[in-house]
Structure 1
Amino acid sequence: MATVSLDNVRKVYPDGQLAIAGASFDIGDGELLVLVGPSGCGKTTLLRMIAGLETVSAGTLRIGGRVVNDVAPKDRDIAMVFQNYALYPHMTVAENLGFSLRLRGTPRAEIAQRVDEIARLLELEQRLDARPAALSGGQRQRVALGRAMVRQPAVFLLDEPLSNLDARLRQSMRVEIARLHRRFGTTTVYVTHDQVEAMTLGQRIVVLDRGAIQQIDTPMKLYECPANLFVAGFLGSPAMNLLRGTLHAGDGLALATAGGTIPLGAPPQMDALDGWRDREVILGLRPEDLHPLAADDPAAALEARLEVLEPVGNEVILHLRHGDLPLVARTPPGIACAPGETMHLGIALQRLHFFDPRDGARIG
């Protein structure tokens, strides 16, 4: 196990394209850290720089306290799991699992012992003589994980390892990866574009956009206190509602939007919002913080027309429109409203988010 440290690490390609703009963060010994962001944000490039598959244009990269900017991948004591498994089709599961150990000249008895141990751990002991073509997608992914684990590296690097699996297998493999990390405690860097994977696996998450780090924090801190509009809109499914309007003060605060005025009472950010009165702000509301209420309920803050109702078992997703502004609410099942009808909604006033419309930064 080892720490990984990035100090103002940059990646600029020969054509001048900036892929990573000054990444600085530390990954603790035994930590599982997730790099997440949309396609093209630089997360895989950053992972490949840690692996040594991409050169570092500037800055310092350390693994276990050792500067590795110019160290070959094979000498970094890392193991990488790729999106496409990269198994040798002519080899059996046992041969695939032990291949890297054979390259290193590990004694045969030790290879057999390690392969048997990993196979039992990953429930592959009955498939050791099978070739990859005879395996399911989940089994192939477990072989790819096992091939990395058998080396007992200081750092695991996983590049979207579950993206080729169906939804059910992805869920089971997420649990498997979390269980294996708890057992072995190996420092792990996991790349994904899937926010569910990021939120459920990561002890901390690095959110990237266009090569720049937007925020680094624990999953719930990112969800409850996004640093800017990008993080607010990227994490959460359905995404956060974002309403642009002018903030007014009277008997409490109110937001004048294109769909009408929304009373906001006295939110926790009152002091920070003092300089924003009569100015434009963006209000963020998580779907679960909008609650259907009776028409005569004094807590109702706004009206919206229900357009689409999506029942998904334990909850219902409501797609609404407040004037011309779209809204999404998440409610328990049993909602007594049909598409086309007007709903009255209350707001969780203690869970409001405010953003600067100029640069997207969080207010308060």
Structure 2
Amino acid sequence: MASVRLDNVRKVYDNGQVGVQGASFDIRDGELLVLVGPSGCGKSTLLRMIAGLEAISSGDLYIGERRVNEVAPKDRDIAMVFQSYALYPHMTVAQNLAFGLKLRGHGKDEIAARVAKAAATLGMTQMLDKLPREMSGGQRQRVALGRALVREPAVFLLDEPLSNLDAKLRHSVRTEIARLHRALGATMIYVTHDQVEAMTLGERIVVLNEGAIQQIDTPMALYRRPANLFVAGFLGSPAMNVLRGRLQADPALSLLLDSGERMALGEAAVASDWLGKPVAVGIRPEDLRVVDAGAAGFEALVESVEPVGNEAFVHLVGAGQTLVARMSPDALPEVGQSLRLRPTPAALHFFDGDSGERLQAG
């Protein structure tokens, strides 16, 4: 396996459009790193540049200690798994797994050993004689993984490999990929637009938007301390609630909302020099509590209730906007009911109301 290093890697197309804006980060040997962001953010372009399928406009890319900007894809010692399975329909599983090795001139005995090892690792030993049309979507995606696995590459690149699977199969194959990574200790770079996949698979996550890196950190660090409003809203399901207004201290800290209401913030930590300035206050749905009438907080009207098993998402209108609260399913409010809500002060996130960047605690 090998590490990967990007040093100010950029992609600018012939029409002047910037696909990737100066990406710089390291992927450790044996790490599973996820590139995540909305459609068009540059994550697949970045992966294709690492693969050699997209030319690098400027910057340097290293796999191990070797600069590979001008190295052909076949010579980069990488294997790629795509969104589509791209299996040869007339070939059996064994033949699909072996085909790439044959093209590279490996001997029959080595090919047979690698195919058998990959099939055993992925639980496909009994499927080697099947054709792709005789298999489920999840099984075919495992064959695609196996085709990369037999290569024994330095780096695995996975470009939205679960997008064509239904929810149950996505969970199953996602678990398979995580198990495979642990077993192999392989260096993997995984692209997805699904923040659940990113949070459950990645040892670290690179969040991209409009070609620019927004933040790089572990899944829970991103969730607990997002660097800006984009990351705060993108990671987390349901998304973080954001209330806009100006900080007041009269004498206790409060937020004068744009709607004209005032929300007490208790002992929340934010720099005092932001008093009177426009801020955005982020509240995760689990940190929005129902309190007794007359307690500090604000009124909100229940619009809909979504029970999802061991929890429920309550959609409300309050403070001049829509909000979501995560609640226990045991005592749910009725649609149309008015609730008094108060956020947990210690769990609040403060952002610059104009730039969206996170504010430091006071």
- TM-score interval for Structure 1 and Structure 2 normalised by the shorter chain: over 0.9
- Is the 1:282–1:356 Cα contact (8 Å) retained in structure 2? yes
Query: Which residue among 299, 308, 311 is the counterpart of 1:315?
Result: 311
Whether 2:290 is the aligned partner of 1:292: answer: yes
- Is the 1:251–1:265 Cα contact (8 Å) retained in structure 2? no
Q: Percent identity?
A: 64
- Is the 2:34–2:198 Cα contact (8 Å) retained in structure 1? yes
Q: Give TM-score scaled by structure 2 length.
A: 0.97
Q: Distance in 2 between matches of 1:106 and 1:179?
A: 28
- Is the 2:298–2:319 Cα contact (8 Å) retained in structure 1? no
- Per-residue CA shift, 1:224-251, capped at 9, x if unaligned? 0000111011111100001111110123
Q: Distance in 2 between matches of 1:260 and 1:328?
A: 18
Matched to 1:110, the amino acid is: E
Q: Distance in 2 between matches of 1:251 and 1:133?
A: 70
- Is the 2:278–2:354 Cα contact (8 Å) retained in structure 1? no
Tell me the equivalent position of 2:273: 275
- Is the 1:2–1:63 Cα contact (8 Å) retained in structure 2? yes
- Superposition RMSD in Å: 1.0
- Is the 1:259–1:325 Cα contact (8 Å) retained in structure 2? no
Tell me the equivalent position of 1:62: 62
- Is the 1:33–1:206 Cα contact (8 Å) retained in structure 2? yes
1:191–1:336 Cα change, 3 Å: closer
Tell me the equivalent position of 2:230: 230
After TM superposition, the structure 1 stretch with the greater mean CA deviation from structure 2, 39-48 or 247-256, is 247-256
Q: Secondary structure at the match of 2:265?
A: strand
Q: Distance in 2 between matches of 1:319 and 1:340?
A: 11
Deviating above 3 A after TM superposition, structure 1's stretches of 4 or more consecutive aligned residues are: none
Tell me the equivalent position of 2:342: 346
Q: Secondary structure at the match of 1:329?
A: strand
Matched to 1:121, the amino acid is: T
Tell me the equivalent position of 2:197: 197
Q: What is the CA-CA distance between 1:98 and the residue it aligns to? A: 1.1
Tell me the equivalent position of 2:36: 36
Tell me the equivalent position of 1:363: 359
Tell me the equivalent position of 2:127: 127
Aligned length in residues: 359
* Equivalence map 1:319-330=2 (5 Å): 319-330=315-326
Q: What is the CA-CA distance between 1:323 and the residue it aligns to? A: 4.2
- Is the 1:35–1:190 Cα contact (8 Å) retained in structure 2? yes
Matched to 1:310, the amino acid is: E
* Equivalence map 1:107-146=2 (5 Å): 107-146=107-146
Tell me the equivalent position of 2:214: 214
- Is the 2:302–2:316 Cα contact (8 Å) retained in structure 1? yes
